[in-house]
Structure 1
Amino acid sequence: MAKTTPVTGSSAHLDLAGALPVVPESTTSRVLVNNDLMRVVQFTFDAGEMLTEHSSPRAVVVQLVTGRMRFTVDGAEHTMGEGDIIYLAPGASHALVAETPCRMTLVMVDTAV
């Protein structure tokens, strides 16, 4: 489990491209913020990498930073490009396939707090 970061403390996460490069034939991730209100995770995917269908009890915002991917939400497929954002309601099923090497930021927000 990732180290908890206090809600009351600010933080900076710099040089993520250098610290979390796209690795050939891999999916990698790094938890940046993890507290009672939210969890922020940066992912990298090589072309062809995928996450199979799953869901989260939290509300989720996904932003594709670089690359292109197909992102499916509740059976509807969306082609995402750099800078695109998808919001997932709590419990929404979702999956993705990276069409090119990608960097994605995911923010999970606890709606129960």
Structure 2
Amino acid sequence: MQQFETTGKTDDQRKKIGQLLRTANARLIHMQLDAGEEVAEHDSPDEVIILVPTGKVQFNVEGEEIVVDRKSVLQIAPKERHSLLALENAEVFVFQITP
């Protein structure tokens, strides 16, 4: 068992993105975004699961817009192009899963 701590961003930082852990078949990324901050369009070779425990984030996945918050989970298939925009200050956990 291992426990990993998330770190907060300072007031002078814009978006903060960092890898929390990596295993043989998974990677966990933690992001903290201020309202209005964006992550440019990209894709992943792996399946991606998104959790947003605080705030609201609008994702554009292959041209389809969806808002994710604490009440939902987003799954993105490998190679699906996606971008995101924080609608509110938000914390995002990105799980990349390799078969």
TM-score past 0.5 threshold? yes
Question: SS state of the match for residue 13, structure 1?
Answer: coil
Q: Would you say how many aligned residue pairs link Structure 1 and Structure 2?
A: 99
Judging by fraction of residues, say which structure has more strand. Answer: 2
Match of 1:63 in 2: 51
Q: CA deviation at 1:20?
A: 2.0
1:12 correspondence with 2:3: yes
Q: Which amino acid aligns with 1:12?
A: Q
Structure 2 matches for 1:1-113, cutoff 5 A? Answer: 10-14=1-5, 16=6, 19-21=7-9, 23=11, 26-111=14-99
Distance 1:12 1:60 in 2: 22
Relative contact order, CA 8 A, sep 6+: which one is greater?
2
Question: SS state of the match for residue 36, structure 2?
Answer: coil
Assess, with a 3 A threshold, how the Cα gap between structure 1 residues 22 and 46 changes in structure 2: closer, same or farther.
farther
* Contact 1:38 1:109 (C-alpha < 8 Å) held by counterparts: yes
Assess, with a 3 A threshold, how the Cα gap between structure 1 residues 47 and 23 changes in structure 2: closer, same or farther.
farther
Deviant stretches of 4+, over 3 Å: 21-25
When normalised by structure 1's length, the TM-score is 0.79
Identity over the aligned pairs, expressed in percent?
Answer: 22
Assess, with a 3 A threshold, how the Cα gap between structure 1 residues 23 and 40 changes in structure 2: closer, same or farther.
farther
Gaps in structure 1 of 5+ consecutive residues: 1-9
When normalised by structure 2's length, the TM-score is 0.89
* Contact 1:73 1:95 (C-alpha < 8 Å) held by counterparts: yes
Assess, with a 3 A threshold, how the Cα gap between structure 1 residues 85 and 39 changes in structure 2: closer, same or farther.
same
Gaps in structure 2 of 5+ consecutive residues: none
* Contact 2:36 2:88 (C-alpha < 8 Å) held by counterparts: yes
Distance 1:24 1:83 in 2: 30
